[in-house]
């Protein structure tokens, strides 16, 4: 069974940064590596489900023309909206995924610390929806904490295994370490150097 909204509501009750995204060097470093993994300097349209309080969204915003973030917790949505006030091209909404997946097409979908909260059926459906909404040259980035999280139906290894199995697109970049997995898939497997005429 997927983790439900009350779990996240409780995390944000009286705490505007329950995972210490702003304070921990681990989190700041991981965000920097996530951004460095992206093979394009800019994307037309980005979707970040599970955006929490908007810390990663804040760093994705300058890299795109349009950013949609969502979270299941109302408090998180409010915090993210406040964090992103300076970016008129960013919209944050409350959604429960995969049931409330947005319409539209995206050049980049960022699944950061989200998918292990979903059971296998819900994750399978989320992957289907992500593939359907990716642009013809779209990319999907996934980043997940490796240690087991109490109450989560899946591990990072299970999540990234399912993504690799069902995305059916080239793996563009990969960084795995003891703490987290970070993978980028894309419909176009051309390398950055090749795109710039260096190869």
How much is the average pLDDT of 114-126? 97
How much is the average pLDDT of 175-189? 97
Binned at pLDDT 50, 70 and 90, residue 8 comes out as confident
Domain ranges of the chain: 5-195
Share of the chain above pLDDT 90, in %: 85
Please, what sign has the CA dihedral across residues 63, 65, 71, 74? positive
Domain range 5-195, CATH architecture: 3-Layer(aba) Sandwich (3.40)
How much is the average pLDDT of 37-64? 97
Note the pLDDT of residue 51.
97
Note the pLDDT of residue 18.
85
**Does residue 12 register a pLDDT over 90?**
no
**Does residue 19 register a pLDDT over 90?**
no
- Residue-wise pLDDT for 127-156, tens only, equals 999 999 999 999 999 999 999 999 999 999
Binned at pLDDT 50, 70 and 90, residue 20 comes out as confident
- Residue-wise pLDDT for 72-93, tens only, equals 999 999 999 999 999 999 999 9
Note the pLDDT of residue 9.
87
**Does residue 108 register a pLDDT over 90?**
yes
């Amino acid at each position: 069974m997927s983790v439900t909204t009350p779990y996240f509501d409780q995390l944000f009750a009286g705490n505007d940064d329950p995972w210490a995204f702003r304070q921990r060097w681990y989190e700041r470093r991981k965000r920097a590596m996530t951004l460095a993994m992206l093979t394009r300097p800019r994307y037309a349209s980005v979707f970040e489900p599970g955006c929490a309080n908007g810390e990663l969204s804040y760093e994705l915003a300058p890299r795109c023309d349009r950013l949609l973030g969502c979270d299941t917790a109302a408090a998180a949505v409010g915090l993210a909206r406040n964090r992103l006030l300076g970016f008129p091209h960013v919209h944050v909404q409350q959604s429960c995924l995969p049931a409330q997946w947005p319409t539209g097409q995206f050049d980049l979908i960022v699944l950061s610390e989200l998918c292990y909260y979903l059971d296998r059926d819900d994750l399978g459906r989320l992957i289907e929806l992500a593939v359907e909404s990716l642009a013809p040259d779209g990319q999907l980035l996934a980043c997940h904490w490796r240690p087991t999280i109490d109450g989560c139906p899946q591990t990072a290894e299970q999540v990234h295994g399912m993504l690799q199995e069902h995305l059916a697109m080239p793996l563009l970049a990969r960084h795995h370490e003891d703490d987290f997995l970070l993978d980028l898939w894309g419909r176009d497997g051309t390398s950055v150097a090749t795109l710039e005429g260096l190869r």
